[in-house]
Amino acid sequence: MKRRTGPVVIVGAGQAAAALARGLRENGFAGSIRMLGEEPQPPYERPPLSKQVLIEGRAPDALWLLGDDAQRAQGVTLSTSTRVTAIDRAAREVMTDAGEVIPYETLVLATGGTARGLPDLPVDGRRVFELRTLSDALSLHAALPGARRVLVIGGGWLGLEVAAAIRQQGLEVTLAEAAPRLCARSAPSEVSEYLLELHRGHGVDVRLGACVQPVLGEDGLTLPPDAQPYDLAVVAVGIAARDELAVAAGLPTADGVLTDCNGATADPDIFAIGDVARLCASAAGPGLRLESWRHAETQARLAAAAIVGEPRDYDEPAWFWSDQFGRLIQIAGLPDPDLELMDAEAGEKPVWRYGRNGAVAAVIGVDRARDVRMAQRALPTLASRMAAANGRAS
Ligand SMILES: Cc1cc2nc3c(=O)[nH]c(=O)nc-3n(C[C@H](O)[C@H](O)[C@H](O)COP(=O)(O)OP(=O)(O)OC[C@H]3O[C@@H](n4cnc5c(N)ncnc54)[C@H](O)[C@@H]3O)c2cc1C
């Protein structure tokens, strides 16, 4: 991989973008860095949105990732409220909605994801909400004092955090999930069971296997056959990768921009990182798109190293956390469905270990930060896990 010294343009000004800019400077990159983000704010952390921000209704100082001082210190030129509308790969330029044409030597797509919606329940910011941005979190918080009954649609991590944050403010919360268990895509059944008990124990009315077809009528929002209306609903049914620029530019995509394990796309001048990237994609396997804070940081670090010509391996396991009702739930490694439960400790602070052929591959703990951290060191790195998965697939 060659050492790149010319202008880097980053599309998106979120967590991965901020980490990439920092990583480039830490790796001695001296060229210009231009960052273009469509939100009005500079980069910020999203995890607090469904926790502290939804509960307190304000952005804490720690939310901000690249304020004015950091922009100056890192030599980053940031344009907020600026959407990139097209990439011209032949000319190596991007176009913005303000009509600006910006040349690059290296382009990095860090465009994240967009909340999926429900066709019959359009988000209106009045009775129906979604939660992806700071303004989503603040407007949902502002609507809570006028509400008594809230419907959360989607029993994944985001839906559960939203349900917990709203329930903690004393409102009645119903959580409806179409699947027969919570977090079915990303957590084993023991963990789904734990989450169910946690939420029901705090008074959340969790409905599983529910055909979620809410009706928005004159008198409010109902979830038939239940006729009692809800004051507002939050739709949390997952995200779609914002890969539309890559699609239009003819780059290979599949719900995410396909990249190698360093974030390089099929075009050697274009990288993709964070929620939008499908990492380690190859002829041998479809790659992996993860939506996690740590993964966005690590991918940015790897792409920064690759851009300065010093590519490295993904040298740690995947890691994710969630906060619900004051419980810290951590997942280290990828708890794939074909892993076996090797051992478990029950009780107030449970832990589960999953593996294959006697080797632990994933650990999940509740308020067990130290144990998860210790176990994490022995888990396979994501590079070796992807190599094994691609080997099994080919
Ligand atoms: C509410 C919430 C809670 C979360 N909680 C946790 C948690 O507890 N633990 C955890 O591990 N992870 C959590 N995550 C996930 C984590 O925050 C994401 O994985 C991370 O933000 C991904 O960073 P990113 O830079 O890829 O995308 P983002 O942070 O989404 O940034 C992408 C940016 O690109 C902008 N953009 C898109 N297209 C364009 C364009 N064409 N032109 C200009 N700008 C564009 C977007 O507007 C956005 O600002 C949470 C996410 C959310 C939304």
Residue 368 belongs to a domain:
yes
Sheet holding 270-272, edge to edge: 76-79, 33-36, 8-11, 106-109, 270-272
Query: Looking at the predicted structure, is the pLDDT value of residue 326 above 60?
Result: yes
Q: What mean pLDDT, rounded, does the chain reach?
A: 95
Owning domain of residue 191: 117-235
> From ligand 1's centre to the CA of 38, what distance in Å?
12
Do the Cβ atoms of 8 and 31 come closer than 8 Å?
Answer: yes
Least trusted range by pLDDT, from 220-229, 268-277, 280-289, 301-310: 220-229
Query: Can you give the pTM of this predicted structure?
Result: 0.96
Residue 3 belongs to a domain:
no
CATH number of domain containing 200: 3.50.50.60
Strands 232-235 and 149-153: parallel
Pocket around ligand 1 at a 6 A CB cut-off: 11-17, 36-39, 46-47, 49-50, 83-84, 110-112, 131-132, 158, 242, 245, 274-276, 291-294, 296, 320-322
Per-residue pLDDT at 116: 96
Per-residue pLDDT at 392: 60
Residue 50 belongs to a domain:
yes
Q: Whose CA is nearest to atom 49 of ligand 1?
A: 14
Domain final residue pick, 235, 255, 290 = 235
Atom of ligand 1 nearest to the CA of 275: 26
Per-residue pLDDT at 393: 54
| Number of folded domains that form the chain | 3
Per-residue pLDDT at 385: 87
Per-residue pLDDT at 215: 83
Please tell me whether residues 121 and 227 are part of one structural domain: yes
Please tell me whether residues 205 and 143 are part of one structural domain: yes
Between 387 and 208, where is the model more confident? 208
350, HSE (Cβ side, Cα atoms, 13 Å): 15
How does pLDDT run across 31-53, given as a tens digit for each residue? 999 999 999 999 999 999 999 99
